[in-house]
Amino acid sequence: MASIFTGDYKNDPAFEFGEFYFFYDKLNQQLEKKGVSDDKKISAAISNAESFFNKFTLAKNNLKKPNVNVKDTIANCKDLAKSISVPDEYTLISFLTKDKEARRLVEFGERLGGHCAMNKLSSSQIRNVFGEVKKLEMTLALKGEKDKDGKDIEIDALSVRKLMLLIPRLAYAAQRQGGTMNELRDALTMAIKHIKTVGDFNRFVQYFEAILAYHKAYGGK
């Protein structure tokens, strides 16, 4: 089946994950309905996400083509969620180092958390690493983000070492579990490598917290 969602959704400012999820969620609810044709199931799901399809009319038109079925469309949804889940390096550095980019931080936290939930990655698989990050946060919280001259405080060597040691743990988890854990590994590893100051670290924690919060919000267990 050809892709339903063509275009650069990852960088399109009109794309909102929550609006897209309304369609995906309704489609899953329709999946097991008996005696209802696939085109009617898809139409019902489209009606549940009008805001999304008012902005992305090409996707709506693709869904109305002959021989489009529910199972393949769900697979298309998961492919789209995967493709937008990990920020590019420029975007990640931007929201990791600048408070004014908080909207993008939350946006990509939502995308990755939602992607993890859609593919049934358990929160226990994420929280093992998050627990280590929170322990480190307790230590760095005492330092503050700025010195008396208003300059950014760099994280100390011991904290850098502890952060870097999370990278092989993420790699092992991804190798063991595969699937969505690969995107989580890619995003968190890239972020860890760019943490230089206490402020960077605090924004990294907020990004991680957003991932976990949205994972739960979108039905993750």
Model confidence pLDDT, tens digit, residues 175-207: 988 889 999 999 999 999 999 999 999 999 999
| C-alpha span between 78 and 74 (Å, rounded) | 6
**Residue 187 half-sphere exposure toward CB, CA atoms < 13 A:** 31
Percent of the chain with pLDDT over 90: 81
pLDDT tops 90 at residue 111: yes
Higher pLDDT, 32 or 58: 58
Mean pLDDT of 138-153: 88
Q: What is the pLDDT of residue 207?
A: 97
Q: Picking from 44-53, 58-67, 102-111, 123-132, which range would have the lowest pLDDT averaged per residue?
A: 123-132
Report the pLDDT value the prediction gives residue 179, as an integer from 0 to 100: 87
Mean pLDDT of 151-177: 93
Place 1 in a pLDDT band, splitting at 50, 70 and 90.
low
Please tell me which residue, 2 or 100, carries the higher pLDDT value.
Answer: 100
Percent of the chain having pLDDT more than 70?
99
